[in-house]
Amino acid sequence: MRSYSNPEAVLLDMDGTLVDSDGAVERAWAAWAVEYGVDPARALADAHGSPASITAARLRPDLDAAQVDTAAQRQLELQYEDLHDVVPTPGAERLLAELDRIGLPWAVVTSADDRLAKARLEAAGIRPPLLFTFEDVTKGKPDPEGYLLAAKALGVDPAACLVVEDSGPGLAAGRAAGAMTASLRGLDADVKLHDLGHLAELLVSDGR
């Protein structure tokens, strides 16, 4: 029987989970909020875990579809060039080394677009074997499409995958995909992690 310490594949979110980009994300949303007449504190509280288009529509429900697309693109532009202080999260390098050592398949599933995801992963020195971004799906998190695509690409039943996330929308996507879930930031999941090094310890303790 598979458990969170004995999955057949690990599917990792990027921002806040695998890559520490909190500073860049907060700077971009704060600047965007000023431009779009939104309380910066509200934007920062509402922005994490979902694609920019979903968040922009939620923060500015008065915008039509074309205006939402423009607002989302502006938000992404504020992030593309800001790679200052983008680094691996605590324990990330240890976890990835352990996954490689035991030959456990893994992939990154992010709400960022291709350009931003690749830029941040490169800045953090992380090269995932598979990367699924917002451009690969028709619906972003909390929809499970990204995680279902990743599981299919790896040839693993979603129920045997462990989704690792640090946001409510991401964990909802993992649960909707039927996967086991692991959380950071104290969120509710099948297992709560202190950091990604904690997950590495769980995999080792399973006797791999």
Does 2 map to a domain? no
**Domain-terminating residue out of 58, 80, 102:** 80
Does 3 map to a domain? no
What CA–CA distances, in Å, run from 31 to 5, 36, 86?
41, 9, 18
Does 186 map to a domain? yes
**How far apart are alpha carbons 111 and 129 in whole angstroms?**
17
14 in the same domain as 27: no
Number of folded domains that form the chain: 2
114 in the same domain as 55: no
157 in the same domain as 62: no
176 in the same domain as 102: yes
Does 4 map to a domain? no
pLDDT digits (tens, 9 = 90+) for 112-123: 999 999 999 999
Q: Are strands 106-109 and 9-12 parallel, antiparallel or unpaired?
A: parallel
95 in the same domain as 187: yes
**How far apart are alpha carbons 143 and 172 in whole angstroms?**
8
Note the pTM of the prediction, 2 decimals.
Answer: 0.86
| Polymer length of the chain | 208
**Domain-terminating residue out of 45, 80, 115:** 80
CATH number (domain holding residue 172): 3.40.50.1000
For residue 156, what is the DSSP state? -
139 in the same domain as 177: yes
35 in the same domain as 13: no
195 in the same domain as 140: yes
31 in the same domain as 134: no
For 135, the domain range is 9-21+86-205
Tens place of pLDDT for every residue, the chain, 208 residues? 568 889 999 999 999 999 999 888 889 999 999 999 999 999 888 777 678 888 999 999 999 999 999 999 999 899 898 888 999 999 999 999 999 999 999 999 999 999 999 999 999 999 999 999 999 999 999 999 999 999 999 999 999 999 999 999 999 999 999 999 999 999 999 999 999 999 999 998 766 6
> Two tokens at 159?
């129920």
Does 1 map to a domain? no
Identity at 119, one-letter amino acid code: A
59 in the same domain as 14: no
C-alpha angle 192-143-159 in degrees, rounded to nearest 5: 55
137 in the same domain as 173: yes
Residue 12 main-chain phi, psi, to 5 deg: -110, 135
Catalytic residue set: 13, 15
